[in-house]
Amino acid sequence: MSSDWMKRTKFAGALSQGLTAFACLIIIAIVVIIMGNIVSHGVQKISWEFLSAPPRDHFTKGGIFPAIFGTAALVILMTIAVIPLGVATAVYMYEYAPKRSRLVQLVRLAIQNLAGVPAIVFGLFGVGFFIEFVGRGLDKGLYGGRLVYGQPAIIWSALTMALLTLPTVVVATEEALRAIPNNYREVAYSLGATRWQMIRKVVLPQAAGGILTGGILAVSRGSGEVAPVMFTGAAYSLPHLPTQLHHQFMELGYHVYVMSTQAFDVEATKPALYSTVMVLLMLTFLLNFTAVMIRARIRKKLRDGR
Amino acid sequence: MRNSGILPYRPEVAARSFPVFRGMVSDKMAAFVIKGSAFLAIASLILIFIFIGKEALPMFTSSEVQQEAGLSKLFLPQPAHPGEAAQFTWQPISETPKYSLLPLLAGTLKVTIIAVLIAIPLAVAAALYTSEFAPSWARETIKPCIEMLAGIPSVVVGFFCLMVIASWLQTAFGLTFRLNALTAGIGLSLAVIPIVYTVSEDAFSSVPQAFREGSVAMGATSWQTASRVVLPAAMPGVLASCILGFGRAIGETMIVLMASGNAAVLSWSPAESVRTFSATIAAELGELVQGSPHYHVLFFIGAFLFILTFVINLAGRWWVGKLQKKLQGAA
């Protein structure tokens, strides 16, 4: 009787444990299937021409160079905006403000909530604030009402994206700051450094890896996100590359969206579409992988430091 | 020491090596700038609220907008033509624009619920396995997989649903519509799994080791320990993960925009095309006259999404905090 009960308990345990393992397997399988499908279809059309030429004949021929160029320009502008702001925010929270102060809690809450705001809401904000308010204001003040900045432009997309990726940078930087042993700071102070000198000469160089991680993750997010740039600057198709801040641009993710939903001839577009998706996917994975490697090194340092 | 004599005082050298005054000025300036940018996170959240709210406000103040898209038109059934039966219809671009939000609400709920029903059991079970049973090699496999899944841009997931999953489902179930709530829900679950997994895995691993040791010492099997000790202890964190996953699903745009079919039909069948709030904004904002009632309605929906996700996130974080407090008290 009792051994029977034991057997049943053991069996139920093994079964349930097996089910949870199965859940893991499903998730792994999903990732493998998605990757396999995209790479196996996408790799056929990848060539130098595909990466370096503009699209032709309703996206069926040519390449995706303008989209790659536009994405690069977008994330560079975004990085210029988000890194100083994100790093300063993290430095304030960790180095300046008293621990557990009301303000720090408020900033942290804001960062967490900012991370949860849907991307499309950022897009709306970009339209309502950057284009309608800032852009129109600039046009009125500087260009006498001529339409220059009061319309979708790469700078507005980049700034919208910078807000979207701000939490990523702040969180990564804060983690890096936490990994720096306190005696580094104390030594700097004991040598007569002011707080800013200490931060500039000791903390920031030490945190460079973490800041880099945050930056790379932000770039990875920014190069794949479509909803915030749809109305703030991304264009369906452009005859020339963006060279000015108020130009529109083509973006890889948006290009994928356009090709897969508004293509003239779905079957004819398919090879180019798959290859574009593969380029986008490889780009984000490469960036994420780099970030994960750097972060692993920082975490190791953090563990060894204690 | 070799150089024991007093060094001659050379002010120019002293000023170079100890720029005390300059150091103090730059310190003050840096403190000011850094403090300023920290406020930016708060400020931007407030700005988002203000500027989306500002564009949504004419819904309540402008009589012109109210006439076409007043609150009653948004929530109560309206006849398509005078004299016909009243219906819930979202049809903003027509002779008499119709702005009933009900089909969109139903669509959003339908897709979100499907996504959450798929994602939560999978992700929580996987998190439990990773935290409680997995040998380290399995852990080293599943974690990068989750990170990869989280790293796939949503437009790529949308593309995959559109191209692959939609066809699979259509052949498997013989569906009339290729793009429907089920396709979108499955796609959406791919976006929800990483967040649910990450938050609940965090919750499971923050349960003190002593809990497990105590349970095993009393003769419990590892499954009994996991299901009756670890899971209840980590419950607030698991709930938080579900809430955050729900918030992610409600706001996600590209996947539903590409995979749901975007027909605003009021029905509960998962095999019908649906249109969600977020996809409506994404699909319609581009071709709009700024300042038209339709434009304001879309911002109204945006404001609603913003407030909803804000509340959901607050609740989720509150639950995570509660878990930490509970376990700190116990450990």
Query: A38, A274 in Cβ contact below 8 A?
Result: yes
What does the alpha-carbon distance between residue A288 and residue A221 come to, in Å, rounded to a whole number? 9
What does the alpha-carbon distance between residue A7 and residue B29 come to, in Å, rounded to a whole number? 72
In a shared domain, residues B152 and B294: yes
Element holding A55 (H helix, E strand): strand A55-56
Give percent above pLDDT 90 in chain B: 42
CB < 8 Å to B254, chain A: 119, 226-227, 253, 257
What does the alpha-carbon distance between residue B323 and residue A280 come to, in Å, rounded to a whole number? 38
In a shared domain, residues B49 and B102: no
What does the alpha-carbon distance between residue A44 and residue B149 come to, in Å, rounded to a whole number? 24
CB < 8 Å to A89, chain B: 37-38, 40-41
pLDDT of amino acid A303: 74
Residue ranges covered by each domain of chain A: 1-45, 48-305
Q: Is B239 inside a domain boundary?
A: yes
Cβ of B282 and A13 within 8 Å?
A: no
Among A192-196, B15-19, B55-59, B250-254, the range scoring the smallest mean pLDDT is B15-19
Among the partner-chain residues B18, B52, B310, the one whose CB lies closest to the CB of A125 is: B52
Q: Is B179 inside a domain boundary?
A: yes
Cβ of B159 and A256 within 8 Å?
A: yes
Query: A87, A169 in Cβ contact below 8 A?
Result: yes
CB < 8 Å to A28, chain B: 141-142, 145
Task: Tell me how many helices (H) and strands (E) chain B has.
Answer: 17, 4
Instruction: Identify residue A51 by its one-letter amino acid code.
Output: L
CB < 8 Å to A273, chain B: 159
pLDDT category at A6 given cuts 50, 70, 90 is confident
pLDDT of amino acid B94: 74
What does the alpha-carbon distance between residue A88 and residue A94 come to, in Å, rounded to a whole number? 10
**Residue A205, token pair as written in the block:** 């160089």
CB < 8 Å to B149, chain A: 27, 30-31
Q: Is the pLDDT of residue B303 over 50?
A: yes
Domain span at B318 = 98-330
Give residues with Cβ within 8 angstroms of A91, minimum separation 6: A173, A177, A199, A203, A204, B34
CB < 8 Å to A14, chain B: 223
How far A244 CA sits from the closest chain B CA (Å)? 22
How far B98 CA sits from the closest chain A CA (Å)? 22
Q: Give residue for tokens 């801040």.
A: A245
User: Which CATH number characterizes residue B206's domain?
Assistant: 1.10.3720.10
The fold of A48-305 is: MetI-like fold (1.10.3720)
In a shared domain, residues B114 and B247: yes
Among the partner-chain residues A17, A93, A121, the one whose CB lies closest to the CB of B305 is: A121
Q: Give residue for tokens 């929530």.
A: B75
**Residue B34, token pair as written in the block:** 């850094």
Tell me which DSSP letter residue B276 carries. -
In a shared domain, residues B123 and B232: yes
Which is it for the CA torsion B5, B11, B17, B23, positive or negative? positive
Residue B147: alpha-carbon gap to chain centroid = 16
For residues B191 and B262, the model is more confident at B191
Query: A55, A61 in Cβ contact below 8 A?
Result: yes
Q: Which of B32, B140, B152 to mutate to test binding with chain A, by most A CBs within 10 Å of its CB?
A: B152
In a shared domain, residues B152 and B288: yes
What does the alpha-carbon distance between residue A245 and residue A267 come to, in Å, rounded to a whole number? 36
Q: Ramachandran region of residue A163, left (φ > 0), alpha (ψ -120 to 50) or beta?
A: alpha
Give residues with Cβ within 8 angstroms of B88, minimum separation 6: B77, B78, B100, B102, B103, B266
Q: Ramachandran region of residue B181, left (φ > 0), alpha (ψ -120 to 50) or beta?
A: alpha
What does the alpha-carbon distance between residue B300 and residue B292 come to, in Å, rounded to a whole number? 13
How far A48 CA sits from the closest chain B CA (Å)? 22
pLDDT of amino acid A143: 85
Among the partner-chain residues A17, A230, A280, the one whose CB lies closest to the CB of B156 is: A280
Cβ of B306 and A121 within 8 Å?
A: yes
pLDDT tens digits, one per residue of B123-142? 999 999 999 998 989 888 89
Q: Is the pLDDT of residue B159 over 90?
A: yes
In a shared domain, residues B52 and B117: no
Among the partner-chain residues A17, A192, A260, the one whose CB lies closest to the CB of B159 is: A260
pLDDT of amino acid B82: 67
Q: Is B40 inside a domain boundary?
A: yes
Among A129-143, A273-287, B66-80, the range scoring the smallest mean pLDDT is B66-80
What does the alpha-carbon distance between residue B245 and residue B237 come to, in Å, rounded to a whole number? 12
What does the alpha-carbon distance between residue B83 and residue B93 come to, in Å, rounded to a whole number? 21
Q: Is B91 inside a domain boundary?
A: no
Tally Cβ neighbours within 10 Å of residue B115: 29
Q: Is B61 inside a domain boundary?
A: no
How far B50 CA sits from the closest chain A CA (Å)? 9
Q: Is the pLDDT of residue B4 over 50?
A: no
- Please provide the average confidence, as pLDDT, over all residues in chain B: 85
Nearest residue to A85 via CA among B210, B115, B38, B293: B38
For residue B139, CA distances in Å to A39, A233, B122 come to 25, 41, 16
Query: A223, A161 in Cβ contact below 8 A?
Result: no
Give percent above pLDDT 70 in chain B: 90
Cβ of A31 and B149 within 8 Å?
A: yes
Q: Ramachandran region of residue B262, left (φ > 0), alpha (ψ -120 to 50) or beta?
A: left
Q: What is the DSSP string of A200-212?
A: IIIIHHHHHHHHH
What does the alpha-carbon distance between residue B298 and residue B301 come to, in Å, rounded to a whole number? 5
pLDDT category at B5 given cuts 50, 70, 90 is very low
Q: Is B62 inside a domain boundary?
A: no
Q: Is B42 inside a domain boundary?
A: yes
CB < 8 Å to B299, chain A: 124, 128
Among the partner-chain residues B122, B152, B226, the one whose CB lies closest to the CB of A27 is: B122
What phi and psi values does residue B99 have, to the nearest 5 degrees? -120, 35
Cβ of A117 and B48 within 8 Å?
A: yes
In a shared domain, residues B225 and B314: yes
Nearest residue to A258 via CA among B286, B268, B200: B286
For residues A284 and B176, the model is more confident at A284
CB < 8 Å to A109, chain B: 314, 317
Cβ of B55 and A106 within 8 Å?
A: no
In a shared domain, residues B119 and B212: yes
In a shared domain, residues B42 and B155: no
Tally Cβ neighbours within 10 Å of residue B263: 15
pLDDT category at B323 given cuts 50, 70, 90 is confident
Cβ of B282 and A170 within 8 Å?
A: no
Among the partner-chain residues A31, A192, A254, the one whose CB lies closest to the CB of B145 is: A31
In a shared domain, residues B208 and B154: yes
How far A295 CA sits from the closest chain B CA (Å)? 13
Give how many domains chain B has, as a whole number.
2
Q: What is the pTM assigned to this prediction? A: 0.88
Tell me which DSSP letter residue A147 carries. S
pLDDT tens digits, one per residue of B84-117? 767 777 878 777 777 888 889 999 999 999 999 9
In a shared domain, residues B34 and B109: no
In a shared domain, residues B165 and B259: yes
pLDDT category at A267 given cuts 50, 70, 90 is confident
Query: A261, A273 in Cβ contact below 8 A?
Result: no
Element holding B147 (H helix, E strand): helix B136-151
